[in-house]
Structure 1
Amino acid sequence: MNAVMKHDPANEWREELVALLPRLRRYAVSLTGTLHDGEDLLHSTIERALTKFDQFTQGTDLDRWLFRIAKNLWLDEIRSRKVRGETDKPENPKDEPWIDGENQATAAVGLSELGTLLSQMQEDHREILLLVVVEGYSYREAADQLSLPVGTVMSRLARARSKLTELSAKARQQNENVVPFGRGRER
């Protein structure tokens, strides 16, 4: 038996794909605004990636390729829903991903509030916040990912942050338990 392991690009690709699943899931849920749709989008994205493996260029960023697939699939779904006359609002608010279970509530203080605020934002604002703030992409990387000029990414991010701050202030006025984005709880 040969002691030297063979280089298997397909196996390396699958391992990298599995490692990217949590990020891809966060992206899908953020893009769709609901856990149910996000999970469906995640599954569709993985299925598409597996069937189109031969179109992936080795040496390029797999995460960008997967995020692009997810975005294109979601845009197709939105168009399809418009044709069918469906809305993008969940019928049951318990299906929202931002409502934590009792066991997770203390560990995720602020996360559910942030999720609620994000779900009230426009899709392009949610998407840019996710890429730059959550995933840590540079403006250039986000611009490449979204096929936008860097200036557009910067202005959208500024508007998204401003809108998030505005929504946070409104929520705080309505409910003392909602913490403004970027600030700790008052004691």
Structure 2
Amino acid sequence: MNDAKHTDVIGLLEPLRRYARSLARDEANAEDLVQDTLVRAYERRSSFQSGGNLRGWLLSILHNTFIDTRRRRAAEFRRLEQAAALADSAVPPEQESRVRLRQVQAAFMSLPDEQRAALHLVAIEGLSYQEAANALKIPVGTLMSRLGRARAALRGFEAGTDLSQTPGTKRPSLRIVGGSSV
């Protein structure tokens, strides 16, 4: 790759890291995922079409790398999730906003992988439906269906009551951004 493309890759590290954190649910695994993605991209740099969408290409490689890693390490993932759940329960109460942020994060992370990936690419990374569908290698209609189910699940989370508050008290409203509701 020439220097201009190298600079573009460096500029895309933060979106890659955000998406990796969303998929991997663990900071260390996310960093490993980004590094593995960059190694794969370098090894397959000849498959990148000049003038193509570098961001989409890298996000697609990252997604595929995640899927491959998940298949190889399914047992390890379960063990890490159990350890994370124990660590979260041992944390002392924090400010209300931090607790709320953790609730929202838990709701987002509880979405199925396919829905979480679709929502992340559209709502957080700001990809168009077509770009996100291309990155996930799925039809746009499938992406829109996954987005609709993810948004519905988060709206359901919002409609529920928070057991740590007074019974019957609604949670604060969560605005779901990124495209229109389907």
When normalised by structure 2's length, the TM-score is 0.77
* Superposition map of 1:1-187 within 5 A: 10-82=2-74, 85-88=75-78, 89-93=80-84, 111-170=101-160, 172-176=161-165, 179-182=172-175
Runs of 4+ in 1 over 6 A off after TM superposition: 105-109
1:118·1:126 contact (CA, 8 Å) conserved in 2? Answer: yes
1:27, distance to aligned residue in structure 2 (A)? 0.5
Map Cα deviations across residues 75-94 of structure 1 (whole Å, 9 max, x no partner): 11111124xx4344435328
Number of aligned pairs? 168
Can you list the C-alpha shifts for 1:110-132, whole angstroms capped at 9, x where unaligned?
Answer: 54433222111111111111111
Matches of 1:168 and 1:175, distance apart in 2: 14
Contact 1:34 1:95 in 2 (8 A): no
Letter of the 1:116 counterpart: A
Distance in 2 of aligned mates of 1:80 and 1:11:
35
Give the Cα–Cα distance (whole angstroms) in 2 for the partners of residues 43 and 108 of structure 1: 30
Report % sequence identity. Answer: 32
CA distance in 1, matches of 2:13, 2:86: 21
Distance 1:92 1:181, change over 3 A: same
The change in CA–CA distance for 1:111 and 1:39 in structure 2 (over 3 A counts) is: farther
Q: How far apart, CA to CA, are the structure 2 residues paired with 1:173 and 1:26?
A: 28
Query: Aligned equivalents of 2:48 and 2:171: distance in 1?
Result: 43
Q: 1:95 to 1:51 in 2, by over 3 A?
A: farther
Is the CA contact 2:129–2:144 (under 8 Å) kept in the aligned structure 1? yes
1:26, 1:179 → 2: CA distance? 25
Where do 5+ consecutive residues of structure 2 fail to align? 88-94, 177-182
The equivalent residue for 1:102 is none
Aligned-partner Cα distance in 2 for 1:21–1:122 = 25
Partner of 2:180: none
The match for 1:4 is none
Query: Given residue 61 of structure 1, which amino acid in structure 2 is its aligned partner?
Result: N
CA RMSD in angstroms, aligned pairs only: 3.1
Task: Provide TM-score, normalisation by structure 1.
Answer: 0.75
Alignment gaps of 5+ in structure 1? 1-8, 97-104
- Rate the CA distance shift 1:175–1:156 in 2: closer, same or farther, 3 A: same
In structure 2, give the amino acid aligned to 1:33.
Answer: R
- Deviation of 1:13 after TM superposition, in Å, equals 1.0
Q: Deviations over 1:32-54 (max 9, x none)?
A: 22222212111111222233323
Counterpart contact for 1:25–1:42, Cα < 8 Å: yes
